[in-house]
Structure 1
Amino acid sequence: MTEAEIIHLLQEYKAGTITEDDAVKKIVDVPFEEMRFAEVDHHRELRQGMPEVIYAAGKTPAQVRDIFYSLYTHSEGNLLATRAEREHYEKVREKVPEAVYDETARMIYLDRDERIQRDEAHKILILTAGTSDIPVAEEARLTAYLFGNYVTACYDCGVAGIHRLFAHLPAIKEANVLVVIAGMEGALASVVGGLTDKPVIAVPTSVGYGASFHGVAALLSMLNSCAMGVSVVNIDNGFGAGALASKINKLR
């Protein structure tokens, strides 16, 4: 039950349209919905400010549809399903036709919170080393945006042509939080970390040739960064980076 639903319930009780016993029974309902294949957390929005996010990979299209619809009917904030395929999206549209699919980010989402005022003075900047890192970057960008942040992006500015990065120094200086996404040797995070006094969230990607070990080389490089204030999330975890950047941005 959302905060708005609780307020509405109390208003009904005060107006005498429902009894005290009925009001208490509704309020003490379990905070999650048992769906046999999932237990959907309907109190996530109250605790963290955003409804539960669905990880679609490994779920059938029908399962994603039913979970998405459950969240749709029990929450007020923006909805998001990550690592989704078009088959998932087509099923979701059966019950939530206004849902949108982003092919690059592989996300199904519903942007329905018109109350959000995105503060341009506190912006998140997404940087990628190469064009091949854009899918992970778009996952991070869309996540941070749906969490209520003003987000900008600069793509394909890796260290192989470092003058491209320096062209974006004004944007780097203006950003409140930076998300740096790179595969191969993952050097971009250290370079950016040395250029800013703001938090840097590094995202290693699985982009690269054989010895990159599907992102492990970039992960280790980022973990061993000598630049101050660089944190690291898991390989290809654009969602985790976007969510963390949002929390830091709102604190700052």
Structure 2
Amino acid sequence: MKREDIVSILQAYKAGSLPEGEALDKLAEMPFEEMRFAEIDHHRELRQGMPEVIYAAGKTPEQVRDIFASLYAHSEGNLLATRATREHYEKVLEKVPEAQFDEMARAVYLDRDKRIMRDETHNILIMTAGTSDVPVAEEARLTAYLFGNSVHTCYDCGVAGIHRLFAHLPEIKAANVIIVIAGMEGALASVVGGLTNKPVIAVPTSVGYGASFQGVAALLSMLNSCAMGVSVVNIDNGFGAGALASKINKLR
């Protein structure tokens, strides 16, 4: 719910033009909106600084459209629907024609902060071991960007050709938070963690042959990293990494 809506209700109550009971009823309706298939958390923007993010997988295009439209009407910040398809996007356009679709990130989004000046001195760096990891990286990049951060990327610089990684040492040193995304054995996170004193968020991906077990091998490798300051999110969870990196970046 937009902050000015709450302020307006409180002002009307204080001025005596809105009875106490009606004011309480209006405020009680604001925390979340009950829909037949969802309960939308309209207070999340007030609590966390970003409207509720929609996880589109498993939802019909019509459901994503209606949730997106409700968030659009009751919020001020950027909007994001992750793991979305073009079908989801085409339905969202029926009610929010300004929405955009990032096919690589698999996301429908609305960027209301296109002219915002992002702090380049506090940037998030996203690195991938290989090109196959880029879809997860793009989800992380778009998430961090929509959360108001300056984001840089270095893709396909894994340990199989480690000289490629060393070529990006200036970017590693300049970053405030680093997201490292890798499948296979997930070794890149440990190497980067050993090269920097900045927080490293490791994202295992489901990229790899049979014994990688759809990302479990990389996950366990990253959890067992001996490099100091490496945290780990779930397999293929680019959104979670982008959101966490944003919170860390804004604290530092």
* TM tier relative to shorter chain: over 0.9
Alignment correspondent of 1:126: 126
**Preserved CA contact (<8 Å) 2:53 2:79:** yes
Q: SS of the counterpart of 2:201?
A: strand
Aligned to 1:110: 110
Name the amino acid aligned to 2:228: M
TM-score of the two chains, using structure 2 as the length reference: 0.95
Residue aligning to 2:202: 202
Separation in structure 1 between the aligned mates of residue 183 and residue 90 of structure 2, nearest angstrom? 32
Match in the other structure for 2:87: 87
Deviation at 1:21, TM superposition (A): 4.9
Aligned to 1:75: 75
Aligned residue type for 2:43 = H
Runs of 5+ in structure 2 lacking a partner? none
Superposition map of 1:151-230 within 5 A: 151-230=151-230
Q: Which runs of 4+ in 1 moved over 6 A?
A: 14-17
**Post-superposition shift, 1:196?**
0.1
How far 1:5 sits from its partner (Å)?
1.5
Which stretch shifts more, 6-15 or 47-56? 6-15
Q: Is 1:52 the equivalent of 2:52?
A: yes
CA distance in 1, matches of 2:126, 2:30: 39
3-state secondary structure, aligned to 2:157: coil
Distance 2:115 2:153 in 1: 24
For 1:79-135, what per-residue CA distance to the aligned partner results, in whole angstroms no more than 9, with x for missing partners?
A: 000000000000000000100000000000001136844111110000000000000
How many residue pairs match? The answer is 252
SS at match of 1:127: strand
Alignment of 1:149 onto 2:149: yes
Instruction: Answer whether contact 2:53 2:82 (CA < 8 A) is retained.
Output: yes
Secondary structure in 2 aligned to 1:40? Answer: strand
Paired amino acid for 1:240: G
> Which digits, 9 at most, give the CA deviation of each residue in 1:2-22, with x for residues without a partner?
222112334555677655554
Q: Secondary structure at 1:228's aligned position in 2?
A: coil
Change (3 A) 1:112 1:230: same
What letter is aligned with 1:225? S
Query: What is the Cα deviation at residue 146 of structure 1?
Result: 0.3
| Unaligned runs of at least 5 residues, structure 1 | none
What is the rounded CA distance, in whole Å, between the counterparts of 1:11 and 1:165 in structure 2?
A: 57
Partner of 1:236: 236
Q: Give the whole-Å Cα distance in 1 for the aligned partners of 2:187 and 2:60.
A: 37
> Structure 1 length normalisation: TM-score?
0.95
Percent of aligned pairs with the same residue? 82
Could you say which residue in structure 1 is the equivalent of 2:250?
250
CA distance in 2, matches of 1:102, 1:114: 16
Q: 1:73 & 1:207 partners in 2: Cα distance?
A: 38
- The one-letter code matched in structure 1 to 2:222 is M
Q: Any residues of structure 2 matched to 1:34-45 within 5 Å, and which? A: 34-45=34-45
Asked if structure 2 preserves the Cα contact closer than 8 Å seen for 1:200 and 1:229, the reply is: yes
* Post-superposition offset of 1:25: 3.0
Residue 210 (structure 1) shift: 1.0
Deviation digits for residues 15-43 of structure 1 (CA, Å, limit 9, x no counterpart):
77655554443223251111111111011
Q: In the aligned structure 1, how far is the partner of 2:205 from the partner of 2:140?
A: 12
**Cα-to-partner distance string for 1:35-58 (whole Å, 9 max, x where unaligned):** 111111011101110000000000
Kept in 1: contact 2:89–2:101 (CA 8 A): yes
